[in-house]
Amino acid sequence: MPHLHVDSFKKIDFPSKNGEFTFNFLAKNINHPEEQLIAAQIDDEEFFLLSIQDEGKSLLKTDKLSRPSSTYLVHQALLSYAKLSGMDILASNVIDGKKNMHLDNVTALKDIEYFASNFPTDKEVRIEVGFGSGRHILHQAKNNPDILFIGIEIHRPSIEQVLKQISINNLDNLLILNYDARLFLEQVPSNIVGKIYVHFPVPWDKKPHRRVISKRFLDEATRVLKVGGQLELRTDSENYYAYSYETFISRLKVKLQINKNQDIAIVSKYEDRWRKMEKNIYDITMTNEEESEPLHVNDDFSFDIKQNDHAILASLNSVIRKFDEGFIHIERAYNVDNEDAMLFRISMGSFDRPEHLYVLVNDTSRRYFPKPPLKSSANLMAHKILNEMLNG
């Protein structure tokens, strides 16, 4: 996690600008004054930096919930605020270097709104969930130029490594998304995907609710796969294989192919290691035989704007509301410095796939920060309840 260890946190006048970065406001945790959020912006991208007192140390670091996909931007924003405020840096793991030329030129990294608003449908789509080093998806994209590949990954160094390879190899049929694959599938139109690759997902033996393979995931995969399309699971974990097989076979109707230690055209560096260790590799391939109904998601995430009642807003801290499909949890509340506003850190949506983001509330506007949640049925219901909560 990029961070600066500083002598003490120093506040600036908001808003202020240093180079390409604008720092718009400061938000203070109402229950934990040692935690403060600094709203940073470059062009249209917004995110928070986090100032925190931790065991006698003053740290300035990136906020996990809102940080941008580019690690370079995070590093530069931390250094920019430290310089603007005049803080003395005692220790740092932040690199003050030039942006990688390959990353500067590549346009393959997309945000979720790109897919949610206008999903590309002019050619067959193939999706890889958790591409890691990128060996497999890069090989597939190079050898199938007429197919659009979408790689989903949450490990940022892996993303930047693959983006560099996309630039070097001039690939125009591979898009990258830093997002939760389980939520992403809900934005994919029905019947357009040829293959979904789930190769060596994290087993999550102690937290099975975090596994990619689930009944809901298989429902969405079946919907987005075209007739004859396939979902390929590949794992070295016997426990994950057994769990996944039971999840697949519990479906009312399913066509499966099971393989063990099958050779494929390209393998990851981890698979190379596991083969040397003589670990077994398990494959489950599900072939879709059904044509699904078109995807329809209506409504939006607009708020009713009313005069703020700060007593009501402050009382929402730590409140949880549940409904059949999911929940809304206001985890933390912040006062926005020098503004008649409050900020809430929330989790919302389905129980097994919640989203985590912020809501900025003042007398003239209410908006999600940095971006609205996805248009899923659970998120829309959670939004409706949140709207009512904010208005008392």
* Together in a domain, 155 and 221: yes
- Residue pair 280/271 in contact (Cβ under 8 Å)? The answer is no
* Together in a domain, 119 and 78: no
* Together in a domain, 116 and 10: no
pLDDT of 96 strictly over 70: no
Both tokens of 57, joined, read 């140390």
Residue 292 lies in a domain: no
* Together in a domain, 222 and 183: yes
Strand partners, 38: 26, 49
Residues 227-269: pLDDT tens digits?
A: 999 999 999 999 999 999 999 999 999 999 999 998 888 777 7
Residue 224 is predicted with a pLDDT of: 96
* Together in a domain, 316 and 225: no
* Together in a domain, 267 and 119: yes
Q: What is the CATH number of the domain that holds 278?
A: 3.40.50.150
* Together in a domain, 238 and 350: no
Structural domain tally of the chain?
A: 3
Query: Structural domain of residue 378, as residue ranges?
Result: 310-390
* Together in a domain, 141 and 281: yes
Buried-state track 334-369, b at ≥16 Cβ within 10 A, e below 16: bbbeebebbbbbbbbbbebbbbbbbbbbeeeebebb
* Together in a domain, 77 and 113: no
* Together in a domain, 129 and 266: yes
Both tokens of 82, joined, read 């430290």
Residue 301 lies in a domain: no
Q: Which of 66, 92, 118 is the last residue of a domain?
A: 92
* Together in a domain, 165 and 218: yes
**CA atoms of 381 and 386, how far apart (whole Å):** 9
* Together in a domain, 345 and 275: no
**CA atoms of 64 and 357, how far apart (whole Å):** 10
Residues 99-134: pLDDT tens digits?
A: 555 555 668 999 888 898 889 988 999 999 999 889
**Residue 35: band (very low, low, confident or very high) from pLDDT cuts 50, 70, 90:** very high
